[in-house]
Structure 1
Amino acid sequence: MAAAAHGGLSPAPRLLPLGDAAWAVEFGAAIDPATHARVLALEAAVRTAQASGAPPWDAVQDVVPTFRSLSVHYDPLAADGAALGQALLQLAQQTDAAPPRGRRWTLPARFDAALAPDLAALAARQGLTPAAVVERLLGAELRVYQIGFMPGFPYMAGVPAVLQVPRLATPRKAVPAGSIALAGAMAAVYPWESPGGWHLVGRTPAPLWDLRRDPPALLASGDVVRWRAIDAAEYERLRQAVQRGALDVAAWCDAPAEAAA
């Protein structure tokens, strides 16, 4: 279903069914800050409506922002799905996009060869030195667009053009937890060991997923991430603190991210 143009923005939001227990509101095909701002604005509006406890919002169970759409999951036994969809589309039409109000993070990272197995090859491919690649990574401001692939895995845009390379031709069977990775225009961090085909250019001791936290995911859609280079001693100290559950990650969160929008 399509709606009339929203506040002069194009394209208008589209309502799409996701089975019999979820709706998606799509704001277009582009992956860009303006489209993502519309997604996050609707997410905030839906969560506010959900908190009111009023029908049909009381049946909403989960709200999931992506690059260019918002998925809203609901209990089909507790709500009229069609009515919820229409209310959702109307809310999308009425909600004005504002700059994302995410958090600003400065996360520690280590870039030596043992923790960055693809750094040298990526540098050579792009006509750079490994030090130049690291310099560009440290200067980049990465915006989290969505969490996916596995819990806590952030898809982040803002990778400098000179560092944008295709995925590996042959994926690895095991990527270590904490690996900082690049593929195309995206950067990511693997929350725990898993297969993966991205270029590994560093590693962070930051725990991207920890069930002892609420919420467990460190990052969220709309957050902004910068890297801070650390030496081997600090990396090991932080790694051990994470294992003991003695690390206060709040110290890495600088401020809300409005200024970076």
Structure 2
Amino acid sequence: MGQLLEDNSTAPSPALEPLGQWGWLTRWPDETAAAAWADIARNERWPCSLEIVAAYRSVAAIPTGETTHGQWSELHAALKVSIDRFADFGAGREKHDHERQVIEVPVVYDGPDLLYVADALGLEPRQVVALHSSAVYQVFAVGFLPGFPYAGYLPEALAGLPRRASPRARVPAGSVAIAGRQTGIYPCESPGGWHILGHTPLTICDLERGFFRFRPTDRIRFVPIFEGTSSPVE
């Protein structure tokens, strides 16, 4: 399911490097800075039509139409200007986080791994639920299934569990799970090795309609609910 990203104090400084024939890749010190610049870049005017794709500590800028060498050079210069303008990571990043909307995801915490996770971490199940639902998570990337959000980071008390030694052959759609320092939601039935804490009634992805609930840089919060209701657990 892809490698779990571990937090790393030696994250790369902002940089710009070629990506494929026409694209550029920007690298940032941390996920929040990458998300903040990606949101800014999506609203800027560029020399050509551009797709901005954020993932963890990097952001890809990919031309979506025919691109000339002149436009490519102009794009490189414009990207450098935009990156230089985004020099003050501190205050700007905090303001960006404050202004971004938080997507609430209702969760019934009835997962088959809830008791195991609690026991492995020396917690009560209610503490696992309280911790998991207390944080606001950033979506770092979307993969290995269409619409699957890799989000983090977990509170320290929940972090560090590796994937299950024996992955399940079938994980139900909507399963909310954790592994390493991240949490995710299975958009459809799939094999999987993350620890399942519960499930959400939300549709995460609908390929026929082209619907994807999350994109990189989104922020999400899990809200405990009772089975069969949309009312939060008090």
TM-score interval, smaller chain: 0.7 to 0.9
Deviating above 6 A after TM superposition, structure 1's stretches of 4 or more consecutive aligned residues are none
The alignment status of 1:194 with 2:182, answered yes or no, reads no
Residue of structure 2 equivalent to 1:59: 49
Paired with 2:220 and 2:198, the residues of 1 have a C-alpha distance of 15
103-112 or 73-82, which moves further after superposition?
Answer: 73-82
Partner of 1:119: 114
The CA deviation at 1:76 is 7.0
Take 1:89 and 1:195, find their aligned partners in 2: how far apart are those partners?
Answer: 42
Secondary structure (helix, strand or coil) at the match of 1:77 reads coil
Letter in 1 for 2:60: S
Distance 2:68 2:105 in 1: 42
For the structure 1 residues 226 and 46, does the alpha-carbon distance in structure 2 shift closer, same or farther, using more than 3 Å as the test? closer
Structure 1 171/23 Cα, relative in aligned 2: closer, same or farther at 3 Å?
Answer: farther
**Does the 8 Å CA contact 1:45/1:95 hold for their aligned counterparts?**
no
Aligned match of 1:105:
103
Secondary structure (helix, strand or coil) at the match of 1:125 reads helix
Q: Taking every aligned residue pair, what percent have the same amino acid on both sides?
A: 33
Deviation at 1:212, TM superposition (A): 7.6
Distance 1:75 1:226 in 2: 32
The residue number in structure 2 matching 1:173 is: 169
Partner of 2:59: 70
- CA distance in 1 between counterparts of 2:55 and 2:169 reads 27
Structure 2 counterpart of 1:232: 227
Residues 1:155 and 2:150 aligned together:
yes
Q: RMSD of aligned C-alpha atoms?
A: 2.7
TM-score for the superposition, normalised by structure 1: 0.71
> Conserved in 1, the CA contact under 8 Å of 2:135 and 2:221?
yes
Between the aligned partners of 1:45 and 1:144, the Cα distance in structure 2 is 17
Q: Which moved more, 1:99-108 or 1:180-189?
A: 99-108
Structure 1, residues 206-243: CA drift from partner, whole Å, max 9, x if none? 11223587x722233333322222222227xx9xxxxx
1:232 is paired with a residue whose SS is coil
* Distance in 1 (alpha carbons) for counterparts of 2:163 and 2:147: 20
Write out per-residue CA displacement over residues 151-194 of structure 1, whole angstroms, 9 at most, x where no aligned residue.
Answer: 32222213122222111223223221111110111111111122
Q: Which residue of 2 aligns with 1:93?
A: 84
CA distance in 2, matches of 1:75, 1:211: 21
Cα offsets for 1:53-81 (capped at 9, x unmatched): x5x2x232x21011111011114732323
> Take 1:126 and 1:138, find their aligned partners in 2: how far apart are those partners?
16
Q: Is the 8 A contact 2:34 2:59 kept in 1?
A: yes
Q: 1:216 aligns with which of 199, 203, 211?
A: 211
| Residue 47 to residue 138, structure 1, CA distance change in 2 (3 Å) | closer
* Alpha-carbon contact 1:103-1:222 (below 8 Å) kept: no
Partners of 1:225 and 1:76 in 2: how far apart?
32
- Provide the C-alpha distance between the structure 1 equivalents of 2:137 and 2:36, rounded to a whole number of angstroms: 20
Q: Is the 8 A contact 1:21 1:75 kept in 2?
A: no
Query: Taking structure 2 as the reference length, what is the TM-score of the superposition?
Result: 0.78
Matched letter for residue 13 of structure 1? P
| Structure-1 separation of matches of 2:82 and 2:132 | 38
1:25 alignment partner AA: T
**For 2:203, which of 169, 183, 207 is the aligned residue?**
207
